[in-house]
Amino acid sequence: MKKLFKFELIKKDGSARLGKIYTPHGEIETPVFMPVGTQGTVKAITKYHLLETKPQIILGNTYHLYLRPGTDVLKHFGGLHKFANWELPILTDSGGFQVFSLANSKEKGKGHKPEVVLTEEGVKFKSHLDGSWHFFTPEKVIEIQEIIGSDIMMPLDICPPYPCDYEQAKDAVFKTIRWLERSKKAKKNNWQALFGIVQGSVYEDLRIESAKMTVDLDMDGYSIGGLSVGEPWEYMYRMTEVVVPLIPENKPRYLMGVGTPENIIESVDKGVDMFDCVMPTRNARNGTLFTHFGRVNIKAAKYKLSEDPIDPLCDCYTCKNFSKGYVRHLYNAGEITAMILGTIHNIRFYNKMMEDIRMAIKENRFRQFKKEFLDRYSST
């Protein structure tokens, strides 16, 4: 018998919250950062080194996993946990963000140009891999996530781009709510949690309306979606401030796709419990590394002879074993090993930051921690 999803609020320090999420695959201390494992692996790292960074949960992308390896493979293996030999909790997004953001993207991808047709029933989209057409409905997306077997599922939602006019944002809010009702009805497994996603772009009244309607549906947790899509940070913070007080204290709050260390600390201060972002892994692959003294472009000539670790305050495998000079050389020589070492470091940086955040809340000194962290982070 699998344990059911539960959130426990342990204590507050201002609006910052220390909590614990119980899932069938183990407990998660919050605030938590979830490394992104889009296609069934966090990129450029082995499970061994990932576990060493002390993650508590990883995020998988329903859109990508549905297209590849596909639900036939995932069903055969008995879900993503078994397929990837991953014991810890998994959260999956709904694919909504990918469907819309890939179609809205101005980037010329290597693959096929994604296209999307939105109806009340669902969303028809063209695969970025082979140009084939697919149809996601709220029910279908729940079914896929039940095959994946994630501990926390997201319902299909509509994530508008930024900027987005009021009418389009309003339509997205109401369609997202109607889809959430259908998602809830479609859900079969009681051991998988289902969150609701608050939309509303940068419009306060829409965010409030969306939050109230979503909370009325009594979900396991609440996501704030549609942010970190290019809007100024002030909007992200303001929308978070507007939404958070409307979410019941006994439910976790997840700010999707966020963000930089500054974004995360600021949002924890506003009462957010969960975060995910590709930033630490993506940046690692191009040589941008996070340190307690700000971001570092490790390829820079000034590190050529540096015998120091990337971050003297970091306890990761990379920092314990290698110098900036060596890691710089590996990046400049185009070695895959460089990306591995950078990925290990950046993920550990994020996880360590969350550990420090939790400790600070526990000891009632979050605001002091925040100030010290941000002062040091912007010192160079």
Q: Known catalytic residues?
A: 93, 276
Judged by beta carbon, residue 75 or residue 184, the one nearer a second copy is 75
CB of 336 to a second copy, least distance (A): 4
Q: Pick the binder of a second copy from 15, 39, 101, 189 (CB under 8 A).
A: 39
Judged by beta carbon, residue 85 or residue 380, the one nearer a second copy is 85
Burial class of residue 167 (count of CB atoms within 10 Å of its CB; 0-12, 13-18, 19+): exposed
Judged by beta carbon, residue 21 or residue 42, the one nearer a second copy is 42
CB of 282 to a second copy, least distance (A): 12
Stretch that binds a second copy, among 46-54, 112-120, 213-221, 367-375 (CB under 8 A): 46-54
Q: Which residues inside 266-285 make contact with a second copy, applying CB under 8 A?
A: 285
Cα atoms in the Cβ-side hemisphere of radius 13 Å centred on 208:
5
Q: Does 34 bind a second copy (CB under 8 A)?
A: no
- Radius of gyration for the alpha carbons in the chain, expressed in angstroms and rounded: 20
Judged by beta carbon, residue 80 or residue 153, the one nearer a second copy is 80
Q: Does 14 bind a second copy (CB under 8 A)?
A: no
Q: Pick the binder of a second copy from 250, 321, 364, 368 (CB under 8 A).
A: 321
User: Residue for token digits 């000194």?
Assistant: 365
Q: Does 49 bind a second copy (CB under 8 A)?
A: yes
Q: Does 307 bind a second copy (CB under 8 A)?
A: yes
Q: Which residues inside 146-175 make contact with a second copy, applying CB under 8 A?
A: none
What does the buried/exposed string (b/e) look like for 110-122 if buried means 16 or more CB atoms within 10 Å of the residue's CB?
Answer: eeeebeeebeeeb
CB 185 within 8 A of CB 156: no
Q: Residues in contact with a second copy, total (CB under 8 A)?
A: 41
Q: What would the x/- binding string for a second copy be over residues 332 to 371, using CB under 8 A? A: xx-xxx-xxx--x---------------------------
Q: Pick the binder of a second copy from 329, 356, 362, 376 (CB under 8 A).
A: 329
Stretch that binds a second copy, among 71-79, 132-140, 235-243, 362-370 (CB under 8 A): 71-79
Angle of helix 336-362 relative to helix 366-377, nearest 10 degrees, comes to: 150
CB of 344 to a second copy, least distance (A): 8
Q: Does 105 bind a second copy (CB under 8 A)?
A: no
CB of 50 to a second copy, least distance (A): 10
CB of 168 to a second copy, least distance (A): 33
CB of 135 to a second copy, least distance (A): 22
CB of 39 to a second copy, least distance (A): 4
Residue numbers at the binding site for a second copy (CB under 8 A): 39-49, 64, 68-69, 73, 76-77, 83-85, 285, 304-305, 307, 317, 321-323, 325-326, 329-330, 332-333, 335-337, 339-341, 344
